[in-house]
Structure 1
Amino acid sequence: MRDFYLEQITWDIEYNPDSNITLYILHKGAAFRICYVAEALKASPLALEQHRECSRILHQGDGDPDAIRPVAERLTKPFEELMNRLLPSPATEFQLTESLHGYLYPPSFELEARAAESSEGVVQAHFLGAVSRQKGGACGLVVGFLQPHLSSLLALNVKTYSSGQVQVLAYHVTPRARRAPSKVLVGNTVFFFKLFMRPHDHGRHELQSFVKILADAEASRPLLSEARICRLHGLLIDEDDDVLQHYDIDDSEEYRPGVQRLVGLLFTYIDNKGTLRHIAPWSDCSNEDRSCWSRQIHNTVTSLHAAGVVWGDAKPENVLIDQEDNACLIDFGGSYTPGWVDREKQETAEGDWQGVKRIDEWLARWSHQPITSRLMSR
């Protein structure tokens, strides 16, 4: 869509021909929420039928980007002129496509599709208003909710940055076409960026895990010095005044100066070929490769437990294969994934070993012989 980037599109999970369809579009540093509501289109039978056809395609496509893309382009087209008119002036002030701050906190506008009886199916773009500070909300979690874990990390000399100091180098696309920053640059160093939007319990679990990992690194005989894991480098903390500078304040909203939010984590960047989930099934992967990865995962989990750290969400997607073909464990945010770790065992050492065993069983499906490991008997 040229310089109109589809960040996300949503529709009802259960098939509904009159499903609301919402597009989130980024355009020249501004964010637009485009709402298609069947009720606003029913005056034109043709426009309503076109809407229902889009709903059907999205539902049948089940998140396939090749199915989403043409529908998104079709639904965005009637709004392009309006979006250009709504861009802040001068537009160059907000063209921060490579700035993490610009990505996280763009000025935002809400638009709606409507159709008149005489429109012959032509959708009319309507401006509903700028998204207020209250409705837009802010990224991350208020720092006060995350004590004492943040204090413990800062005591271990973890560096802090603001999003304005971070340049985005690359994005990854999540389910339903949502784009998120991944590879970023701070100064002259490349890091992996992770947006901190976890529920409080899992967020605390992740911070607690890195307190233990960093404390181990400072020990006289660290247990994790050779462990192949993602390592925390820094915290991204923004002030509310800076976060919400583009938003209007609702009359009903209480102004709270000085509030800080943890918006993201910076990790040492692991140059990788992909996740174990994607790499292991390849036909050019040997049984020796898969057995080596299994041993490395076992050894790393053993080291983590010795340091008092639980991996948590053990599954192939949370193992990166680096450029030297080593298996590196990532994501210490806890929780669990059905089929890999049982719910009652989540965030426990027992759950880790259950997940590791199931990873071995999964690896064996792609091998001509069973995956063996000296730790398989656990």
Structure 2
Amino acid sequence: MESSNDGSVGSSFCMLELGFYGDHFKYFFITNGKRFLVEIKASDLAGPGGILEEFRRFTTDLDDPDLFNQFEEWVIGSLHDYLISVAPAPRSRARQPITLLAYFTPQTYALKLKNKAGKLHVAQYTYEPSIHGDPSPRAKVVNGIHDAKTSPNIHGCILRSMLADLPRFLASEIEGVDDNLRDQDMSDMPRKVRRIGTSKNLFFKGAFKGHGYLREIQMLSRIEHALEATILTSRLAGVVMWDDDKDGSLMGLLIEYIEGQTLYEYLYEEKCKGRNISQSIKLKWAAQIESSLRHLHAHNIVWGDVKPENVMINSNNDAVIIDFGGGYTPAFVPRELRETVQGDLLGFDRLKTKWD
């Protein structure tokens, strides 16, 4: 976005987390370098003005993209004046790279939306991560199963032995690669990163609960030990640790960066341009993916979530298998075959139909 006449650049926004517990919503987002937690309770919206009814209409089905967009616009719109006062769009300036530590430890404001005489009122209160939660990726590193069982969040634990052979980097050592990002994307979580003082690009994947980072570490570690470098899969480059925890907490993984685009993006572009993929390219990609799967399965490594978004077409026009976090996408792998060899093979057969 171009700079405005007053010298400011375009605002940036990124949703981090949305949790709902009955009639209680917690919504984290970042805008212009500041983080916000907005709590919305139905009981706080009761009263004149129809605010509660409007809120309930938005939240009847947040899986509906249109309703979700309306909900976001309603929340952000109600905070407009407040956000301008505490998180204004930055003035034009030379942009500086941001470290992972800085991105995940911004100044955070906790807010509640309330009905005050028929109008939405913004009330600020003190943010306490231990009480209100923290959307940052963090997995406690423990020595064994006993330590995991005594942890307040057993599902956010990772055994120290899993990290034993992996290069470790502090979050303050890893910075995002700007790569001419648009101003409105500057609040997005850094994905393309590098170690400060180096030029090698890496891909960062955060240790978010429920995002398969434990499985990804296991699978990628096994790939490093069992498979040749020529096999076309993503490769683990190390892990990122939080600076502020003497016992060690995992922030995320570093994966070798693949220049290119996903198969999904490639197919979409070709469709928009009215072009068909040549038969020779189809055969090449099919052979590459089949060869990679054969080697993976021979070492009891299952890909998992087979879909076009999890295949990269690299700068050499080769098909590279990525994302070993597991799960399944019903259009490609049925639930009963998730994370199985049979699921991989069925998913691969269905994947090939996407470029036919």
- State the TM bucket, normalised to the shorter chain: 0.7 to 0.9
SS in 1 for 2:111: strand
Distance of 2:110 and 2:96 partners within structure 1:
20
Aligned to 2:175: 167
Look up the match of 2:140: 142
Query: 2:253 maps to what in 1?
Result: 265
1:206–1:332 Cα contact (<8 Å) kept: yes
- Equivalent pairs counted in the alignment come to 314
Structure 2: runs of 5+ lacking an equivalent: 1-8, 89-94, 143-156, 182-186
Residue 181 of structure 1 deviates from its aligned partner by 2.4
**From 341, 348, 373, the counterpart of 2:340:** 348
Q: Hey, what does 1:250 align to over in structure 2?
A: none
Query: Matched residues in 2 for 1:312 and 1:60: separation?
Result: 26
* Paired letter, 1:305: H
- 2 CA distance for matches of 1:30 and 1:46? 31
Partner of 2:191: 182
Q: What is the CA–CA distance in structure 1 between the aligned matches of 2:139 and 2:61, rounded to whole Å?
A: 36
Letter in 1 for 2:230: E
1:232 aligned partner: 236
Distance 1:306 1:329, change over 3 A: same
The answer on whether the counterparts of 1:139 and 1:261 sit within 8 Å (CA) in structure 2 is no
- CA contact under 8 A between 1:41 and 1:113: conserved in structure 2? yes
Report the equivalent of 2:218: 208
Aligned: 1:197 with 2:208: yes
More off after superposition, 127-136 vs 328-337: 127-136
Tell whether 2:292 aligns with 1:294: no
Are 1:101 and 2:113 an aligned pair?
no
Q: In structure 1, what residue type is equivalent to 2:30?
A: L
1:9 deviates by 7.0
Distance of 2:307 and 2:172 partners within structure 1: 34
- Which residue does 1:124 correspond to in 2? 121
The answer to whether the 8 A contact 1:23-1:34 is kept is yes
Please point out which of 79, 82, 102 is paired with 2:82: 79
CA separation in 2, counterparts of 1:339 and 1:347? 15
CA distance in 2, matches of 1:32, 1:304: 43
Contact 2:28 2:38 in 1 (8 A): yes
Q: State the distance in 1 between where 2:316 and 2:234 align.
A: 16
Q: Unpaired segments of 5 or more residues in structure 1?
A: 86-94, 173-177, 217-222, 244-257, 368-378
* Superposition deviation, residue 164 in structure 1: 0.8
Asked if 2 retains the 8 angstrom alpha-carbon contact of 1:30 and 1:107, the reply is: yes
AA paired with 1:5?
A: F
- Local SS of the residue matching 1:280: helix
Matched, 1:30 2:39: no
Letter in 2 for 1:113: L
Q: SS in structure 2 opposite 1:130?
A: coil
Quick check: 1:297–1:329 contact (8 Å CA) kept in 2? Answer: yes
Secondary structure in 2 matching 1:146: strand
The alpha-carbon deviation at position 296 of structure 1 amounts to 1.4
Q: 1:115 to 1:39 in 2, by over 3 A?
A: same
Q: 1:195, CA displacement in angstroms? A: 0.5
**Cα pair 2:332 2:347 within 8 Å, conserved:** yes
Which sits farther off after the overlay, 288-297 or 259-268?
288-297
- The TM-score normalised by the length of structure 2 is 0.74
Cα RMSD (Å): 3.6
Residue 303 of structure 1 is aligned with which of 295, 307, 319? 295
Partners of 1:11 and 1:238 in 2: CA distance: 24
- The secondary structure found in structure 2 opposite 1:296 is helix
The separation in 1 between residues aligned to 2:31 and 2:214, in whole angstroms, is 35
What's the % identity of the aligned pairs? 24
Question: Which residue number in structure 2 is paired with residue 376 of structure 1?
Answer: none
Call closer, same or farther: CA 1:20–1:186 in 2, change over 3 Å: same
**Is the contact made by 2:58 and 2:68 (CA closer than 8 Å) also made in structure 1?**
no
Alignment-mate amino acid for residue 104 of structure 1: F
3-state DSSP class of the match of 2:224? Answer: helix
Deviating above 6 A after TM superposition, structure 1's stretches of 4 or more consecutive aligned residues are 56-59
1:311-322 correspondence to structure 2 within 5 Å:
311-322=303-314
CA–CA separation in structure 2 for the residues paired with 1:237 and 1:323: 30
Distance 1:142 1:57 in 2: 34
Higher Cα radius of gyration: 1
Aligned to 1:102, the other structure's residue is in SS state helix
Q: Does the 8 Å contact 2:24/2:39 carry over to 1?
A: yes
CA contact (8 A) 2:34 2:87 kept: no
In structure 2, the CA distance between the partners of 1:192 and 1:41, relative to structure 1 (3 Å rule), is: same
CA change 1:148–1:341 in 2 (3 A) is farther
Q: How many Å separate the matches in 2 of 1:332 and 1:84? A: 37
